[in-house]
Structure 1
Amino acid sequence: MAFRLTLIRHGVAEGASEAIFGQSNPPLSALGREQLDTRWAALSAHPVDAIASSTLARCADFALDAAMSLGLPLHLERGFNEMSLGSIDGKAKAEWSIAEHTAWDLWQQDPDQHPLPEGESWAAFSSRIHTALNAWFASGDAEHRVLIAHQGTIKAILLAALGLPAARHSQFWLAPAGCVTLWWDENWPPMLLDISNTLPDMP
């Protein structure tokens, strides 16, 4: 079955200006909640009939409210959680060692070839995301699916869908509450319809 797939990055999390979060679990800030409220309101042109989310609070808290507002079950799935970033996960950037800064710079160039210290490999990360995605797709039919997740999760989906290596991940940067829309058809490669980093009602 062909369907529209909307991928939404969570809004700004508490402490996001001081640290980078993988599987560490801060909640949304007040601004982050406002960003997602604005993004969600813009989806009304294409009614949602299936919704899934990472289990981390910065995604799941909003996703639960969104699903309840539509009277839909929420598919919560750990497989959609952000990559574990190892020793820098949730650690204040001011406390990073020189080696950690170097590792982060190399990871940004190619996360597949330069895994972070104590972090999850790109291969393992991408594999669990696609296992989770395929299981969700197989759980029932829908015309418009929405996944609320993380920048890394969404990048992994896009790179695989478009047949690109991990080294190209930076071209799919998403702002907080950024949104990607795909047309997904099991008989054809996914089609990229839109990438939006601008919220319609925000300055």
Structure 2
Amino acid sequence: MSAFRLTLVRHGCATGSHDHVFGSTNAPLSADGRAQLRSRWQQLTAQPVDAIASSTLARCADFALDAAASLGLQLHLAHGFAEQHLGDLDGKSKANWSAQELQAWDDWQRNPQASPLPNGESWDDFSARTLAAFHEWLARTPDAEHRLLFAHQGTIKALLLHAFGLPASRHSQFWVAPAGVVSLWWDNEANGWPPMLLALDNTLPD
């Protein structure tokens, strides 16, 4: 496979995200969330894009469909890129969380692998399906020089932790804001070394 650039884009704010946490809950983009992505879009295409993929959840897919059409590209939609299922807390108003659920959330934030959420998807299962979806996409686009993926905070973290050989307990070092972007470069001469981190940008363009 040739060397390639990978741009990971987190979706914008979803409707209700100020008082809920969304994993597999299919909340749409808010008006602000769509505006955030529009603000980011021109910057994203400064480097020509020749492959584009997205989570199947609406807060990624709705904008990604329009983005792919604007570039004349076919969008690769994959459930494997969807956010981690957060169990009993998924889509539940924070105002209704019990003391035990608050503690479970804090423990999960420290180490999502060691402290799974009640009835939630395990970190290992989530990471495995994310990586499987990623490798399938790579196989479908062997000659792409710039791949762009619209995804979620957790999906992006899972890919980065794997790429840099880090444990799940280090996920917080890759926090990505709504419409934030991470850019990586895979050098086909790297011989097993991790990709180059080109940028982690949480500031929206003016």
Letter in 2 for 1:197: N
- After superposition, the Cα gap between the structure-2 partners of 1:192 and 1:116, relative to the gap in structure 1 and judged at 3 Å, is same
Q: Which runs of 5+ in 1 are unaligned?
A: none
Equivalent position SS for 1:164? coil
Cα deviation for residue 43 of structure 1 reads: 1.8
Cα deviation for residue 190 of structure 1 reads: 1.3
Partner of 2:145: 143
Cα deviation for residue 187 of structure 1 reads: 4.7
Partner of 2:14: 13
Equivalent position SS for 1:135? helix
Equivalent position SS for 1:45? coil
**Which 4+ stretches in 1 moved above 2 angstroms?**
185-189
1:24-81: CA deviation from partner (whole Å, max 9, x where unpaired): 0110001100100111111232011100000000000000000001110000000000
Equivalent position SS for 2:108? helix
Identity, % of aligned pairs? 66
* TM superposition score normalised by structure 2: 0.96
Partner of 2:26: 25
Partner of 1:128: 129
1:31-50 equivalences in 2 (<5 Å)? 31-50=32-51
CA-based RMSD of the aligned residues comes to 0.8
How many aligned positions are there?
Answer: 201
Partner of 2:94: 93
Q: 1:200 aligns with which of 194, 198, 205?
A: 205
- For the residues of structure 2 that align with 1:120 and 1:30, how far apart are their CA atoms? 29
Letter in 1 for 2:201: S
Equivalent position SS for 1:182? strand
Letter in 1 for 2:166: L
Cα deviation for residue 185 of structure 1 reads: 3.3
Letter in 1 for 2:91: G
Q: Which runs of 5+ in 2 are unaligned?
A: none
1:175-198: CA deviation from partner (whole Å, max 9, x where unpaired): 100000000235522111110000
